[in-house]
Structure 1
């Protein structure tokens, strides 16, 4: 593994634990077993380091979404979107835990997240319109609020996957995306 990758992994760990404001480049250097100067050589500033972690995390999330969240039918799209919070957080828990912690105070994190979620909103509006909902924009907003809360809950807590699965299953039933058994 390269020193640059060591720095990124150490920074993600430190930012997740302490947030980006309280974390120091010195603590990141110690965690990565490198000099603080090497951090600045690769990233120029702590903000650039944060930006690189954001880009990497959302790049990985986008790859996962692009293979999993293809729009075929409205019901399939909504159903798959409801599975997404669990899938994303479990695939890269450290990144999503960091996002959960820093989003309230970090404009960069908010911007990256909004850009990531924008296509989901557009497709949800389309799906609800095709399904005949009277207010597809509002329905999309409601579902995205639920999804936002769900990924944050999963990232913030140790959880029982069975319980999260039950929440997702119940939500799918409420939208008529599956049979009523279970």
Structure 2
């Protein structure tokens, strides 16, 4: 009986020892974080600031060190003054400029599209190409959770268009603003 139990224990020994070892790498060197933010922007069209929410995802790879990518979608629709709203969907590279313990500072350059309903809303709406340099400060508060603050200065070069500015040329719009939020590291 003792020999059978000993043989059975020896068979289970490899299973129990491998279960105690932490994996060396998870996600094959990739890191994915996702989160949400509250945003407050100056729309550059109309007198009031716009507020809303944004969702974002950040992707990094261990071999690229400080270089990663960010995608975001923002809907500035909380209590819109006179019906004015702005939405944007942007994607692009981000670079970690500085890191000290749990604090990281990033620079980013995003490209995509912006949609606006003008003030007053009877004027109409439009969709435009947009690009946005910006910066992010991120503080890791737990192994998978971070809080962050973000600033973007967007350029919509073809907005609002000659239909709104004729006989003067259209010089585009430059909405800009701050966001604060949190992210969760998925892997």
Please give the TM-score of this superposition, normalised by the length of structure 2: 0.25
Higher helix share: 1
Which structure shows the higher strand fraction?
2
Q: Which of structures 1 and 2 has the bigger CA Rg?
A: 2
TM-score by length of structure 1 reads: 0.26
Of structures 1 and 2, the one scoring higher in RCO (CA 8 A, sep 6+) is 1
